[in-house]
């Protein structure tokens, strides 16, 4: 943790002045020049390092001193700790202008590695290339006595990672050959390998070491993952290093010599490492097969056996991913049916292991890397989206940005509705998964406990209860099931309400608005009229059926509201086609209070699109019916003496309702007198004492101004009609509901009411 | 390859602090040279640290634990990493590194350790590497104590990294090799 002492040192280091630093540097310099650089020099260098590292802006150190650091670094007489500190300071200052460092003259491989770390930090292609050359040179020749190539391999790995073109083809071949030798050599040692049973007890009797247990012919073409020996030697080190860098080497360079390597048995010493090695080996096989397809057939048979060994073992689940990737890349060529592998991966694994954050991440990465798989609507990949969302539901903060990338690939006309519901119920899914985990952890005796006749007392009891079981099963399903949706999940949502405050559920709920917004954006691109209509109806329905988390509901309403307006803009005719549902929603006064965002946008859409110019089927009766419905609502909320039951609502809702009524009246001019009378009463409304205590002054003034403008507009009905009937061509709207309206209104108002000062005094 | 290693104090209410950071080489031609290159490096690492701190706090919250445990353990008590929370996340290209990176992190008490990996890296090995680095750093730098070794002894951290993560190369070290490394470093790590 960040201790008080650390805080103090950091502050001192940041505040040290140039002059003081110069003096300190001079002292350290003197210490370094002395015959034996002792603990004082070490201490000085350590403090100097902190001074340099502590600030974002670079510290200027004396050029001569920087040169001295380099000299000390390269000098074989310097103690190792001093060398390490000099390198640390030089790296921290990088990029350095005063660097005269070069690795050409350095014979000691450990020192070469250290100096390289400074050179590679400069960000210079020339330096990287020079280091690369020097290292290859070191590997080609016979090293002096006592020196090991062990320290050179990581440098080489870094060089090719930073700048893959640093080596010539000839050099690449030389290194490949050496790597192959080192990988092959250790296998000879395997003959003396000792049983490892003494280290820890092995719970499994079967050792998944498939690379070596399949028929010998296959095994000889692939290398061993690890060798274990009584004593480690330099060659064993080289084996480890070579294997560790092999994947990157192959990716950058291929390596013909590496195709024929001798294996050794895979010994179990460290369970986790073994799994990591397995993953690495499969990945390397994949790379080799990509580079030389003659290996595919044999690799396929090997990996099929491997898969059958590990697919039942949850601890090996992460290894299933590179195996599946291999088959995706090569099975077509090998004419092999790998559907069973994908099916197991997508159907079983997420349901079982959604709570493993590393697996969750890698699984989603796998989906992203192979996103083309999801384009086929009937495939197991696409059908498994309910399973995929379990990863997100449980590990929301880590995976939300990955799902933002993935969601578009899951959406199509066939899945849109189901995914809409799924997104709205995502926090419920989190709660249900929590219960599923807890239920699984119960001892068997407790599982059967609940009395089927009575009501369950807890969520846990409800999990197996007949009343709730099918709802849980639906929520926790593995595959898309649009036909199997239960009539309602309302009872389940209510039951899960007790978990609505759990941190994991809340974190999941926070991701929903983002995904919902994205959902609509993607769906808008392909949705046809029927789907749009379906979504609007569902949107209004679901607004009553959301998981009870207040902040979640607010955010969802906001997204649903604005996208409702967007959908209406895409297909204005829906206002007529869905008039029943819309009237029902708009007529419920409670909606204006509890779901203001949706209500306001709905009212706006009615005003905007309910006209014969958008749909020939729009009749005068329909306009009148909408008018009367909204008029009743507006009447209810603008009572002069509001009762306790009168809902209070946002002033914006009042404004939008007034504007909508005005627009409708402009289209059916019989309604104009009613609206005008209503609007003229708004002055009384905003001045009523009961009302002024509820709304603030600015809001009331805004309402009054709006009412006045609308009234003025109606005095010129033909103008009003023109203003309120936008050309049909403009179906995309970008701005907030009332933006363009005020401008039009003010223009007209100025026409009607002479500006102050223009009247004769 | 690993691009960088970061050791940080995630804070909680307090802002997160980078205690030690090491990058393994600078990709050439990737941006401005000179002092701006250095500044960019420092800021990139700070962005990583902040993201790790945020993920760490969110995970602690979802596990029902306090986000910044105040109680330092005694240095000689073995710190169990079995249940140490950790995670993986990705950072998009341009934010903050030019290319996409994957960050693997581990949290121990009031500290966090993170590896910034190139995409497609072996994440299982990255987790193993972190679980090996963490206790050794805790020990060498006396991270649970009241001192400021982490700031004043970069050589100790560098020495560990040179063995377990040389030039950002993760190593498939079995137990024997690991013991050998500990012997070389003069460390007594409880097993």
Segment A42-69 mean pLDDT: 93
pLDDT in tens, A184-193: 765 443 322 2
B chain contacts of residue A56, beta-carbon cutoff 8 Å: 39, 42-43
Q: Assess whether pLDDT exceeds 90 at residue A521.
A: yes
Give the pLDDT band (50/70/90) at residue A727. low
Which of A129-138, A166-175, A449-458 is the least confident region? A449-458
Spatial separation of the C-alpha atoms in residues B1 and A157, rounded to whole Å:
8
- Taking an 8 Å cut-off on Cβ atoms, the answer to whether B175 and A269 are in contact is yes
Which of A141-150, A198-207, A294-303 is the least confident region? A198-207
- Taking an 8 Å cut-off on Cβ atoms, the answer to whether B167 and A3 are in contact is no
Give which of A1, A73, A119, A130 to mutate to test B binding, by max B Cβ within 10 Å. A1
* Mean pLDDT estimate for chain A: 85
What is the structure's pLDDT at A715? 86
Spatial separation of the C-alpha atoms in residues A322 and A299, rounded to whole Å:
13
ipTM, interface predicted TM-score of the complex: 0.94
What is the structure's pLDDT at B180? 87
B chain contacts of residue A113, beta-carbon cutoff 8 Å: 162, 166-167
Among A534, A614, A627, CA closest to A581: A534
Contact A7, B11 (CB under 8 A): no
Q: Of the candidates A87, A232, A277, which has its C-beta nearest B177's C-beta? A: A232
B chain contacts of residue A8, beta-carbon cutoff 8 Å: 148
B chain contacts of residue A236, beta-carbon cutoff 8 Å: 177
Among A139, A134, A164, A158, CA closest to A150: A139
Give the pLDDT band (50/70/90) at residue A34. confident
**Which DSSP string corresponds to A192-257?**
GPPP-TTTS--S-SS---HHHHS-HHHHTTS--S----SS--HHHHHHHHHHHHHHHHHHHH--GG
What is the structure's pLDDT at A751? 62
Give the number of beta-carbon pairs within 8 Å between A and B: 220
pLDDT in tens, A461-472: 899 898 899 999
* Higher-confidence position of A637 and A598: A598
B89 touches chain A (CB under 8 A): yes
- Taking an 8 Å cut-off on Cβ atoms, the answer to whether A120 and B171 are in contact is no
What is the structure's pLDDT at B175? 83
B166 touches chain A (CB under 8 A): yes
* Higher-confidence position of A349 and A295: A349
A chain contacts of residue B54, beta-carbon cutoff 8 Å: 397
Residue in chain A lying closest to B142 (CA): A1
pLDDT in tens, B10-49: 988 889 999 999 999 999 886 777 788 999 999 999 999 9
Nearby residues of A465 by Cβ (< 8 Å), 6 or more positions away: A450, A452, A456
What is the structure's pLDDT at B147? 87
Q: Assess whether pLDDT exceeds 50 at residue A224.
A: no
CA atoms lying within 13 Å on the CB side of residue A626: 32
B chain contacts of residue A93, beta-carbon cutoff 8 Å: 38
- Taking an 8 Å cut-off on Cβ atoms, the answer to whether B29 and A236 are in contact is no
What share of chain A in percent tops pLDDT 90?
Answer: 58
Q: Of the candidates A120, A122, A273, which has its C-beta nearest B174's C-beta? A: A273
What is the structure's pLDDT at A97? 84
Q: Of the candidates A3, A228, A273, which has its C-beta nearest B147's C-beta? A: A3
* Higher-confidence position of A735 and A419: A419
**Minimal C-alpha gap between B164 and chain A (Å):** 11
- Taking an 8 Å cut-off on Cβ atoms, the answer to whether B25 and A162 are in contact is yes
pLDDT in tens, A350-383: 999 999 999 999 999 999 999 998 888 778 999 9
What is the structure's pLDDT at A44? 95
What is the structure's pLDDT at A251? 86
Spatial separation of the C-alpha atoms in residues A464 and A455, rounded to whole Å:
12
- Taking an 8 Å cut-off on Cβ atoms, the answer to whether B24 and A199 are in contact is no
What is the structure's pLDDT at A541? 95
CA atoms lying within 13 Å on the CB side of residue A243: 32
Q: Which residues pair with B20 in a beta bridge?
A: B7
What is the structure's pLDDT at A253? 79
A chain contacts of residue B60, beta-carbon cutoff 8 Å: none
What is the structure's pLDDT at A254? 63
Q: Assess whether pLDDT exceeds 70 at residue A225.
A: no
- Taking an 8 Å cut-off on Cβ atoms, the answer to whether A358 and B62 are in contact is no
**Minimal C-alpha gap between B175 and chain A (Å):** 7
Residue in chain A lying closest to B177 (CA): A232
B13 touches chain A (CB under 8 A): no
**Minimal C-alpha gap between B189 and chain A (Å):** 16
Q: Assess whether pLDDT exceeds 70 at residue A137.
A: yes
Q: Of the candidates B39, B155, B173, which has its C-beta nearest A56's C-beta? A: B39
What is the structure's pLDDT at A726? 56
What is the structure's pLDDT at A690? 79
B chain contacts of residue A232, beta-carbon cutoff 8 Å: 176-177, 180
What is the structure's pLDDT at A352? 95
pLDDT in tens, A653-679: 999 999 999 999 998 889 999 999 999
Which of A474-488, A590-604, A736-750 is the least confident region? A736-750
Spatial separation of the C-alpha atoms in residues A164 and A152, rounded to whole Å:
17
What is the structure's pLDDT at A21? 95
Spatial separation of the C-alpha atoms in residues A553 and A543, rounded to whole Å:
9
> What is the layout of strands, in order, in the sheet containing B101-108?
B17-23, B2-9, B111-117, B101-108, B86-91
What is the structure's pLDDT at A226? 45
* Higher-confidence position of A761 and B3: B3
Q: Assess whether pLDDT exceeds 60 at residue A691.
A: yes
- Taking an 8 Å cut-off on Cβ atoms, the answer to whether B1 and A241 are in contact is no
Segment A507-529 mean pLDDT: 97
Segment A42-60 mean pLDDT: 93
Segment A440-459 mean pLDDT: 76
- Taking an 8 Å cut-off on Cβ atoms, the answer to whether B1 and A248 are in contact is yes
- Taking an 8 Å cut-off on Cβ atoms, the answer to whether A88 and B155 are in contact is yes
B170 touches chain A (CB under 8 A): yes
- Provide the residue-wise pLDDT of chain B in tens; the chain has 191 residues: 999 999 999 988 889 999 999 999 999 886 777 788 999 999 999 999 999 999 999 999 998 876 555 555 554 545 567 779 999 999 999 989 999 999 999 999 889 999 999 998 999 999 999 999 999 999 999 988 888 899 999 999 999 999 999 999 999 988 888 888 998 888 887 66
Q: Assess whether pLDDT exceeds 50 at residue A267.
A: no
Among A712, A621, A632, CA closest to A672: A712
Among A173, A181, A178, A166, CA closest to A134: A166
B43 touches chain A (CB under 8 A): yes
| Cis preceding-peptide flag for A168 (omega within 30 of 0) | no
């Amino acid at each position: 943790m960040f201790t008080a002492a650390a805080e103090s040192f950091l502050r001192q280091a940041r505040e040290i002045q140039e002059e003081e630093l110069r003096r300190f540097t001079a002292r350290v310099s003197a210490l370094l020049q002395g015959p034996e650089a002792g603990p004082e020099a070490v201490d000085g260098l350590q403090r100097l390092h902190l001074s340099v590292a502590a600030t974002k802006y670079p510290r200027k150190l004396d050029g001569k001193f920087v040169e001295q650091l380099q000299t000390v670094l390269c000098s074989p007489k310097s103690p190792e700790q001093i060398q390490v500190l000099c390198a640390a300071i030089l790296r921290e200052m990088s990029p350095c202008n005063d660097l005269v460092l070069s690795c050409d003259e350095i014979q000691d491989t450990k020192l070469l590695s250290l100096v390289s770390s400074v050179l590679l930090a400069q960000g210079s292609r020339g330096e990287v290339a020079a280091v690369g050359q020097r290292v290859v040179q070191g590997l080609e020749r016979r090293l002096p006595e006592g020196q090991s190539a062990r320290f050179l391999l990581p440098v080489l790995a870094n060089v090719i990672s930073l700048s893959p073109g640093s080596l010539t083809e000839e050099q690449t071949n030389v290194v490949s050959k050496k790597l192959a030798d080192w990988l092959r050599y250790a296998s000879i040692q395997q003959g003396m390998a000792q049983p490892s049973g003494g280290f820890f007890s092995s719970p499994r009797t079967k050792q998944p070491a498939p690379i070596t247990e399949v028929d010998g012919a296959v095994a000889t073409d692939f290398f061993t993952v690890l060798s274990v020996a009584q004593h480690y030697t330099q060659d064993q080190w080289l084996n480890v290093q070579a294997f560790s860098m092999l994947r990157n080497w192959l990716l950058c360079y291929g390596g013909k010599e590496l195709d024929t390597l001798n294996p050794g048995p895979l010994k179990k010493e460290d369970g986790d490492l073994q799994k990591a090695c397995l993953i690495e080996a499969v990945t390397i096989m994949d790379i080799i097969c990509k580079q030389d397809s003659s290996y595919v057939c044999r690799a396929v048979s090997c990996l099929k056996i491997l898969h059958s060994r590990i697919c039942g073992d949850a601890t090996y689940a992460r290894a299933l991913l590179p195996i599946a990737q291999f088959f995706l890349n090569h099975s077509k060529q090998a004419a092999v049916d790998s559907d069973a592998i994908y099916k197991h991966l997508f159907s079983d694994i997420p349901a079982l292991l959604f709570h493993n954050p590393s697996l969750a991440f890698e699984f989603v990465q796998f989906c992203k890397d192979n996103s083309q798989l999801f384009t086929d609507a009937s495939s197991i990949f696409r059908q498994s989206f309910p399973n995929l969302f379990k990863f997100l539901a449980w590990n929301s903060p880590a995976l939300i940005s990955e799902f933002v990338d993935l969601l578009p690939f899951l959406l199509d006309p066939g899945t849109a509705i189901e995914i809409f519901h799924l997104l709205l119920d995502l926090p419920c899914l989190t709660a249900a998964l929590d219960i599923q985990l807890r239920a699984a952890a119960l001892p068997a005796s407790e599982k059967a406990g609940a009395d089927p006749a009575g009501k369950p007392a807890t969520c846990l009891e409800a999990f197996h209860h007949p009343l709730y079981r099918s709802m849980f099963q639906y929520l926790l399903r593995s595959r898309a099931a649009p036909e199997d949706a239960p009539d309602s999940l309302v009872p389940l949502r209510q039951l899960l309400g007790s978990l609505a405050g759990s941190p994991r559920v809340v974190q999941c709920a926070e991701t929903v608005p983002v995904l919902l917004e994205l959902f609509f954006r993607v769906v808008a691109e392909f949705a046809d009229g029927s789907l749009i209509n379906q979504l609007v109806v569902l949107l209004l329905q679901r607004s009553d059926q959301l998981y009870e988390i207040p902040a979640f509901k607010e955010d969802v309403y906001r997204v649903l509201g604005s996208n409702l307006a967007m959908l209406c803009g895409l297909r204005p005719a829906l206002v007529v086609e869905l008039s029943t549902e819309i009237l029902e929603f708009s007529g419920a006064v409670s909606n204006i209070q509890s779901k203001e965002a949706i209500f306001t946008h709905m009212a706006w859409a009615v005003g905007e699109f309910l006209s014969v110019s958008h749909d020939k089927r729009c009749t005068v009766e329909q306009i009148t019916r909408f008018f009367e419905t909204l008029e009743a609502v507006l009447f209810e909320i603008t009572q002069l003496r509001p009762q306790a039951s009168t809902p209070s609502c946002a002033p914006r809702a009042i404004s939008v309702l007034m504007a909508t009524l005005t627009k409708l009246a402009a289209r059916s001019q019989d309604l104009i007198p009613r609206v005008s009378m209503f609007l003229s009463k708004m002055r009384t409304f905003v001045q009523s004492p009961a009302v002024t205590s509820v709304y603030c002054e600015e809001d009331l003034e805004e309402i009054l101004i709006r009412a006045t403008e609308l009234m003025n507009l109606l005095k010129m009905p033909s103008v009003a009609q023109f203003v309120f009937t936008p050309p049909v061509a403009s179906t995309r709207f970008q701005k907030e509901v009332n933006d363009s309206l005020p401008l039009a209104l003010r223009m007209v108002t100025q026409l009607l009411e002479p500006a102050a000062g223009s009247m004769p005094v | 390859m690993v691009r960088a290693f970061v050791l940080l104090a995630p804070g909680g209410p307090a802002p997160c602090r980078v205690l030690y950071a090491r990058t393994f080489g600078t990709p050439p031609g990737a941006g401005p040279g000179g002092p701006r290159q250095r500044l960019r490096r420092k800021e990139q690492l700070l962005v990583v640290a902040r993201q790790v701190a945020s993920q760490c706090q969110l995970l602690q919250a979802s596990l029902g634990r306090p986000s910044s445990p105040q109680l330092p353990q005694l240095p000689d008590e073995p710190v169990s990493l079995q249940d140490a929370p950790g995670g993986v996340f990705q950072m998009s290209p341009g934010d903050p590194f030019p290319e996409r990176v994957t960050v693997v992190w581990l949290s121990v008490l009031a500290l966090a350790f993170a590896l910034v990996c190139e995409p497609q890296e072996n994440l299982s090995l990255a987790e193993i590497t972190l679980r090996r680095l963490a206790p050794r750093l805790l020990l060498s730098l006396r991270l649970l104590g009241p001192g400021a070794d982490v700031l004043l002894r970069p050589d100790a951290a560098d020495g560990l990294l040179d063995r377990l993560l040389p030039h950002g190369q993760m190593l498939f070290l079995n137990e024997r090799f690991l013991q050998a490394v500990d012997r070389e470093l003069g460390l007594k790590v409880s097993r």
